[in-house]
């Protein structure tokens, strides 16, 4: 009598990761096919459409890249905090507040030339994101309050701040009383560089490349690795855990806030409460799939962006948004599951011994 068992691999191979990812993807596609079939939707057409509308042409590839930008930056933000074993669940709120800060800068500098204004807005966005992380960071570093709870709670607060601004202080005077803020000045938009892809794609690429390099090569990144590996070892050589926790959460918040700034200047015409639309939470998944490596975040975010863009498109075939959402979730689940499985091996063994 034989049975299947799951055993942890002692030497997980690097090449195993993409392979496992592929296996997970195929698995998810098969389950997804059953799902589509059971809801009466065309299986092959759905998958074909999903591919065509995410990676099938230059136009949609550029849309996918645009979508990947906030996902990648949010993923980077989460992975930076994770280097020290901290969970920034508040990237969503930091993106929102970063965008809010950028929008505030646009109100101040609405007559400035585009490049100056956009630069100022992006700096404001990063500062805004860091500011939004400041409370949880201080609570964690000074009195040890779990950042998971505090960062999560502030997401809702950031949303309310935008609502408040919409309802009064920044209300659009030309909006017929509707709850929307004044639009951004025209020169505050990042231009397109290729098809529909905006300049934010290049900026995000540069930011991620910088952090990939900085985290491995800098003294700061090295100290972070020590602190993340063992708080006692860090204390022993004189690294202050307090300032490290504070610094890493602020940096994580700044990167997330920066994502909000890029999203605002890249895709939006005015600040609104959907400027993040779940990117902060998706960033956690992106970071997890990228195994918390800044370099991996890029690839994962592009795949994830394509999944979102293509996943939405299948509704045109009559697939309901619920089925589309489950399908996207399945594929993510398959990929995450594959990541876990790549650390294990499945073996056939004798059922009973002795």
Partner 1 sequence: MTEPAVELDGIWKRFPGVVANAGANLTVRPGTVHAVLGENGAGKTTLMNCLAGVYLPDEGTVKLHGREMRFSSPADALAAGVGMVHQEFRLVPTFTVAENVVLGSAPRVISRPEINRSVAELAERFGFSAEPERPVWQLSMGERQRVEILKALWRDAQVLILDEPTAVLTPQEAEDLGRVLRQMVGEGRSVLFISHKLNEVTAFCDEATVLRGGATVASSVAIADVDSAALAELMVGSSTKSTETDAQRNTEMGDVVLAVDNVSVTDSRGLTAVDGVSFEVRAGEILGIAGVAGNGQRQLTDAIAGLETCRTGSVALMGDDLTSATPRDRFRAGLAYVPEDRLGVGLAPKLPIAENAVMRHYPKMRRGPILLWDRAKEFSAELVSRFEVKVGRVEDRLASLSGGNLQRLLLGRELSSEPSVVVASQPTRGLDVHGVAAIQRLLVEQRDQGTGVLMVSEDLDELLVLADRILVMSEGRVAGKFDPAVASRAEIGAAMAGVS
Partner 2 sequence: MRRRLLLVVAAVLAFSLVATACGDDGGSTGGASDDVTAAWVYIGQPGDAGWTFAHDQGRQAAADATGATTLTVENIAEGSPEFEQAVRDFIAEGADIIFATSFGYMDDMEKLAAEFPDVVFDHATGFKSNDTNFTNYFGRVYQPRYLSGMIAGASTTTDTIGYVAAFPIPEVIRGINAFTLGAQVTNPDVTVQVNWTSTWFDPAVEGDAASALLEAGADVIAMHQDSTAAGEAAEAAGARWVSYNSDMSAFAPSAYLTSAVWDWGPYYTSVIEEVGAGTWDATPYWGGMDDGIVKLGSIASDVDAALVTQVNDVGDQMTAGTFDPFTGPINDQDGTERVAAGVSMDDGSMLGMDWFVDGVDGSAGG
Applying CB under 8 A, the residues found at the interface with partner 2 are: 35, 38-41, 53, 59, 63, 66-67, 159, 163, 167-168, 176-180, 183, 267-270, 272-275, 277-278, 281-282, 285, 309, 312-313, 315-316, 318-323, 325-326, 328-330, 332-333
Smallest separation, CB 109 to partner 2 (Å): 21
Q: Select the binding partner of residue 285 from partner 2, partner 1, none (C-beta < 5 to 8 A, by kind).
A: partner 2
Residue 197 DSSP class: E
Number of CB atoms found within 10 A of residue 176's CB: 7
114-143 vs 147-167: helix crossing angle, rounded to 10: 140
Q: Select the binding partner of residue 26 from partner 1, partner 2, none (C-beta < 5 to 8 A, by kind).
A: none
How many residues in total does the chain contain? 354
Smallest separation, CB 214 to partner 2 (Å): 29
Smallest separation, CB 340 to partner 2 (Å): 15
Residue in the structure block whose two tokens are 């004798």: 350
Smallest separation, CB 11 to partner 1 (Å): 6
Q: Select the binding partner of residue 171 from partner 2, partner 1, none (C-beta < 5 to 8 A, by kind).
A: none
Smallest separation, CB 12 to partner 1 (Å): 11
Q: Select the binding partner of residue 328 from partner 1, partner 2, none (C-beta < 5 to 8 A, by kind).
A: partner 2
CA separation, residue 111 to residues 105, 186, 188, 268, 337 (Å): 11, 10, 10, 19, 51
**C-beta of residue 285 within 8 angstroms of C-beta of residue 336:** yes
Closest Cα partner for 150 from 86, 99, 77? 86
Contacts of 219 (CB under 8 A, 6+ apart): none
Q: Select the binding partner of residue 222 from partner 2, partner 1, none (C-beta < 5 to 8 A, by kind).
A: partner 1
Nearer to partner 1, 163 or 347 (CB): 347
Q: Is 60 exposed, middle or buried (0-12, 13-18, 19+ CB in 10 A)?
A: buried
Nearer to partner 1, 44 or 237 (CB): 237
Both tokens of 106, joined, read 């646009």
Nearer to partner 2, 212 or 275 (CB): 275
Q: From CA 157, how far away is CA 153, in angstroms rounded?
A: 7
The site for partner 1 (CB under 8 A) is made up of: 5, 7, 10-11, 217-220, 222, 225-226, 228-230, 232-238, 347, 349-350, 352-354
Q: From CA 62, how far away is CA 320, in angstroms rounded?
A: 25
Residue 317 DSSP class: G
Residue 293 DSSP class: -
Smallest separation, CB 18 to partner 2 (Å): 21
**In degrees rounded to 5, what are phi and psi of residue 14?**
-70, -40
Q: Select the binding partner of residue 168 from partner 2, partner 1, none (C-beta < 5 to 8 A, by kind).
A: partner 2
Nearer to partner 2, 184 or 245 (CB): 184
Both tokens of 337, joined, read 């599951």
Smallest separation, CB 144 to partner 1 (Å): 13
Residue 269 DSSP class: S
Q: Select the binding partner of residue 176 from partner 1, partner 2, none (C-beta < 5 to 8 A, by kind).
A: partner 2
């Amino acid at each position: 009598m034989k049975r299947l068992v799951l055993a942890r691999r002692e030497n997980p191979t690097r090449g195993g990761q993409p392979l496992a990812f592929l296996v997970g993807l195929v698995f998810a596609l098969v389950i997804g096919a059953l799902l589509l079939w059971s809801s009466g939707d065309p299986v092959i057409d759905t998958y074909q459409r999903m591919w065509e509308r995410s990676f099938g042409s230059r136009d949609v590839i550029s849309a996918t890249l645009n979508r990947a930008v906030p996902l990648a930056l949010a993923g980077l933000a989460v992975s930076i905090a994770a280097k020290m074993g901290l969970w920034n669940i508040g990237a969503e709120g930091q993106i929102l507040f970063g965008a809010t800060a950028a929008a505030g800068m646009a109100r101040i500098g609405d007559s400035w030339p585009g490049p100056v204004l956009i630069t100022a807005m992006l700096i404001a966005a990063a500062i805004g994101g860091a500011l939004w992380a400041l409370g949880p960071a201080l609570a964690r570093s000074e009195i040890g309050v779990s950042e998971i709870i505090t960062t999560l709670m502030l997401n809702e607060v950031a949303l309310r701040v935008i609502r408040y601004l919409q309802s009064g202080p920044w209300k659009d005077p030309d909006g017929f009383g509707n709850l929307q803020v004044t639009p951004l000045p025209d020169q505050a938009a990042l231009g397109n560089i290729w098809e529909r892809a905006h300049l934010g794609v290049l900026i995000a690429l540069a930011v991620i490349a910088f952090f990939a390099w900085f985290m491995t090569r800098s003294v700061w990144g090295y100290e972070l690795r020590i602190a993340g590996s063992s708080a006692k070892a860090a204390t022993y050589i004189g690294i202050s855990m307090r300032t490290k926790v504070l610094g890493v959460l602020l940096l994580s918040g700044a990167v997330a806030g920066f994502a909000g700034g890029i999203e605002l200047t890249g895709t939006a015409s005015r600040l609104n409460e959907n400027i993040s639309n779940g990117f902060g939470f998706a960033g956690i998944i992106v970071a997890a799939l990228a195994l918390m490596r800044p370099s991996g975040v890029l690839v994962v975010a592009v795949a994830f962006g394509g999944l979102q863009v293509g996943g939405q498109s299948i509704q045109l075939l009559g697939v309901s948004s619920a089925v589309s959402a489950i399908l996207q979730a399945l594929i993510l689940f398959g990929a995450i599951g594959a990541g876990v499985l790549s650390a294990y091996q499945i073996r056939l063994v004798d059922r009973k011994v002795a």
